[in-house]
Amino acid sequence: MTVAVLRYNAGNTKSVVNALARLDQPAVVSDDPRVLREAEKVIVPGVGAAGPALEYLRERHLDQVLTSLSQPVLGICLGMQIFCHSSAEGETPCLNIFPERVELFRTSERVPHMGWNAISSLEGPLFHDIADGAYVYFVHSYRVPLAPSTTAQCEYGCAFSAALQQQNIYAVQFHPEKSGETGAQILRNFLAL
């Protein structure tokens, strides 16, 4: 199976590639439209800011590539947020796969939301064999509110979307590549789609 990890103006590609290697799944890191279109699975990781990430994608017409893919695609953290309609981070228009707006946490809790937290109300194939209340690792200051496409939620000052799904696009706010065995199982589930 060919897995492509998107190279764009965001970090964390190496952690994702290493997590896949632990599952004996090689991956190619690429921003080549042909490689992305021909891959059987595409992962959009991300640690960074929405504006520069979207600028990189648009300059290379990768925004059009990502929205045209029909194979399973997994967005992680910033990779989830760029699939939304827009982000309050720099008032950035995003890819509009999910019609939600990404908002800054407005909570008495410390921001960024960083560390282990439980996810609940799990739905869909990404969470096969994952227990409700399983802990995963988060690092983010922006959140997606609960929405019709929410497939997992988390509580941090308020309830927010820990995962979204729309057709072939799967997205998680947490980092499965840093979430121990739970994260590894989520990655296995994605690879099995």
Annotated active-site residue 77? The verdict is: yes
Catalytically annotated residue among 84, 94, 140, 177: 177
How many Cα atoms sit within 13 Å of 110 on the Cβ side? Answer: 4
Phi-psi region of 114 (alpha: psi -120 to 50; beta: other; left: phi over 0): beta
Q: What is the pLDDT of residues 120-172, one digit of tens each?
A: 999 999 999 999 999 999 999 999 999 999 999 999 999 999 999 999 999 99
Contact 29, 7 (CB under 8 A): yes
Catalytically annotated residue among 77, 84, 94, 154: 77
Q: What is the pTM of this model?
A: 0.97
**What class has domain 3-191?**
alpha beta
Q: What is the pLDDT of residues 79-105, one digit of tens each?
A: 999 999 999 999 999 999 999 999 999
Catalytically annotated residue among 89, 94, 140, 175: 175
Q: What is the structure's pLDDT at 9? A: 79
Q: What is the structure's pLDDT at 12? A: 85
* 30 three-class SS: strand
Q: How confident is the model at residue 106 (pLDDT cuts 50, 70, 90)?
A: confident
Q: What is the structure's pLDDT at 114? A: 95
Handedness of CA 95, 132, 184, 10 (dihedral sign): positive
- Measured in whole angstroms, how far is the alpha carbon of residue 57 from the centre of its chain? 16
Q: What is the structure's pLDDT at 11? A: 78
The CA-atom distances, in angstroms, between 168 and each of 98, 110, 120, 164 are 12, 34, 22, 11
CA distance 93 to 101: 9
Q: What is the pLDDT of residues 8-65, one digit of tens each?
A: 978 789 999 999 999 999 999 999 999 999 999 999 998 889 999 999 999 999 999 9
CA trace torsion 95, 121, 129, 169 (10° rounding): -10
- Give the tokens for residue 182: 């739970």
CA distance 106 to 109: 8
The secondary element (H helix, E strand) that includes residue 39 is: none
Annotated active-site residue 175? The verdict is: yes
Beta bridge partners of 103: 143
Annotated active-site residue 85? The verdict is: no
